[in-house]
Structure 1
Amino acid sequence: MSTRIGKSGAPMRKEPSQARSRATVDAILEAGARILGDRGWAGFTTNAVAAVAGISIGSLYQYFPDKLSLVEAIRRRHFDDVLAVMRKAMAGDLPLQQRAEALVEGMIDAHNINPELHRVLLDEAPGYDGSRLAHDAFLAEYQGHYRDFVAAHRSGRKGPGDDVLAQLLSGAVEGVIHSAARKRTLGSPELKQELARMICSYLRNAD
């Protein structure tokens, strides 16, 4: 399990305002994600990230004061990727089966970009106290999408409320996805099929 380090404030020293600086930050985050996935937290250094990104260490420190701040920015980008998946899966008026398949496909894609990175973020990289507000905002929107999903597709209105069903469903999907990321089985067609089947079965029997 990862630890939590007491530090407050935003992870970045300054936000990029021009296209060139945004490209630099993107290169830093991509290099950081690659190194963190390949070497783990113990082998993660800002010097290595700067070298892979093709910039000077001084340029990196213009945006990220230390490696903990850089890891937090990588983690927040992951939040953004997951929320983009949820927004796409909830868009339009799809039947349950198609929406469940879209959700599963998107969640697997978001975690399959760099499975080792997700394992390190889950199990090794320290947390960051200053990220609590960002994490809370992520969870609020994330759970809101699941709640809308449940409300649109549950079979009846008896039994537990939408919030409870959404919490249970999101926890089940997360558990399967994160376990598969650790075991490197995210590419399994059977996993996708059975996870979508589980979602549909759960909501069709939620009464």
Structure 2
Amino acid sequence: MITSSESAPNPRRRSERSRRATLEAALEVCAESGYGKVTIEAIAARAGVSKKTIYRWWPTKGAILLDAVTEMVVSDSPFPDTGDLAADLRTHIGSVVRLFNSPVFGSAYGGILAALLHDERLARAVNDELVIPRVALVVERMRGAQGQGQLPPDADLPLAVEMLYGPLYYRHALGRPLQEPERIDALVAHVMRALRAPGWS
């Protein structure tokens, strides 16, 4: 026998389906048409949801795409901990590079980077929701390696993160993505040498 509670639709589950459909639709429209041509109307039509539903969760298309790319970053580029910091950095940077080079992620994130130059609200959201948490993750992993003696105790870890990941964003912004595995290896080796050099910090 099915009770009324079992047969009734679950609003939370339905909301999550709509949210997922919206994020996926936003990424698809952006990959097909480019960030500049993405509209809430196009996202709503692709997702099969109303504009009212979208605006209940997100104020702008940039906010939708930021949520979408943040979820991709978290799910597709976890930070490993094998005990070998250099190897873990190479693995993680490689996963970030693959994300940047994917048409879906690359188009959305490139558009967000361009838009935040004249959208202060979006710039704050990128910093608060994506950049700060991801930097903290890498710093924490490096701090663990520091405690194991793989890095000197006075190494400036936030600056080291900028040295490692700055080139990825720079190349992505210029449309010249880092691709070759040997270049990733060279980047990690160069920064590790700098961290370990006497008097660097």
Scaled by the length of structure 2, what TM-score is found?
0.69
Cα drift, residue 169 of structure 1: 2.1
Larger radius of gyration between Structure 1 and Structure 2: 2
The DSSP-based 3-state class of the residue aligned with 2:81 is: coil
**TM-score between the two structures when normalised by the length of structure 1:** 0.68
Match of 1:102 in 2: 91
Number of residue equivalences: 182
Unmatched runs of 5 consecutive residues or more in structure 2: 1-9
Higher relative contact order (CA 8 A, sep 6+): 1
Matched residues in 2 for 1:70 and 1:17: separation?
A: 24
Instruction: Give, in angstroms, the shift of residue 127 of structure 1.
Output: 3.2
Query: Residues 156-195 of structure 1: matches in 2 within 5 Å?
Result: 156-158=152-154, 162=155, 165-182=156-173, 183-195=175-187
Q: Is the 8 A contact 1:100 1:200 kept in 2?
A: no
Matches within 5 A, 1:37-186: 37-53=31-47, 55-56=48-49, 59-64=50-55, 68-83=59-74, 88-89=78-79, 91-113=80-102, 114-124=105-115, 127=119, 129=121, 132=124, 135-136=127-128, 138-151=130-143, 152-153=145-146, 154-158=150-154, 162=155, 165-182=156-173, 183-186=175-178
What is the one-letter code of the residue matched to 1:28? Answer: T
Q: Which runs of 5+ in 1 are unaligned?
A: 1-15
* Aligned residue type for 1:42: G
Cα distance in structure 2, aligned partners of 1:17 and 1:177: 41
Amino acid corresponding to residue 174 of structure 1 in structure 2: Y
